Amino acid sequence: MTLIQIGALAVLGSFTGFAAGLLGIGGGMIMVPFLTFLFTLYGFPLEVVVHIAIATSMATIIFTSLSSVRAHHKRGAVRWDIVILLVPGILIGALLGGGKLFALLKTSWLSLIFALFVGFSGYQMLANKKPKPSRTLPGKVGMFGAGSFIGFLSSLVGAGGGFISVPFMTWCNVTMHHAVATSAALGFPIALASAIAYIFSGYGNPNLPSGSVGYIYVPALVCIALASVVTAPLGAKVAHQLNVAQLKKVFALVLFVLSAYMLNKGLITLGLY
Determine the pLDDT at residue 254.
75
The letter for the amino acid at 220 is A
Question: What percentage of the chain carries pLDDT values higher than 90?
Answer: 21
Least confident of 59-63, 131-135, 150-154, 177-181: 131-135
Question: What percentage of the chain carries pLDDT values higher than 70?
Answer: 88
Phi, psi angle pair for 148, to nearest 5°: -65, -40
Q: Above 60 in pLDDT, residue 24?
A: no
pLDDT band at 145 (very low <50, low <70, confident <90, very high): very high
Determine the pLDDT at residue 144.
95
Q: How confident is the model over 189-210, as a mean pLDDT?
A: 90
Q: Above 60 in pLDDT, residue 273?
A: no
Q: Above 60 in pLDDT, residue 250?
A: yes
Which comes out higher in pLDDT, residue 152 or 176? 152
Determine the pLDDT at residue 143.
94
Determine the pLDDT at residue 128.
64
pLDDT band at 110 (very low <50, low <70, confident <90, very high): confident
Determine the pLDDT at residue 105.
78
State pLDDT tens for residues 208-217. Answer: 999 999 999 9
* CA 101, chain centre distance (Å): 18
Structural domain boundaries of the chain? 3-269
Determine the pLDDT at residue 26.
55
Determine the pLDDT at residue 114.
77
Determine the pLDDT at residue 27.
63
Q: How confident is the model over 95-124, as a mean pLDDT?
A: 79
Determine the pLDDT at residue 147.
92
Q: What is the largest CA-CA distance in the chain?
A: 56
DSSP string across the chain: --HHHHHHHHHHHHHHHHHHHHHSSTTHHHHHHHHHHHHHHTT--HHHHHHHHHHHHHHHHHHHHHHHHHHHHHTT---HHHHHHHHHHHHHHHHHHTSHHHHHS-HHHHHHHHHHHHHHHHHHHHHTPPPPTT-----HHHHHHHHHHHHHHHHHHT--SHHHHHHHHHHTT--HHHHHHHHHHHHHHHHHHHHHHHHHHHTT-TTSPTTEETTEEHHHHHHHHHHHHHHHHHHHHHHTTS-HHHHHHHHHHHHHHHHHHHHHHHHHHTT--
Q: Above 70 in pLDDT, residue 78?
A: yes
Determine the pLDDT at residue 185.
87
Q: How confident is the model over 111-120, as a mean pLDDT?
A: 79
Least confident of 89-98, 110-119, 201-210: 110-119
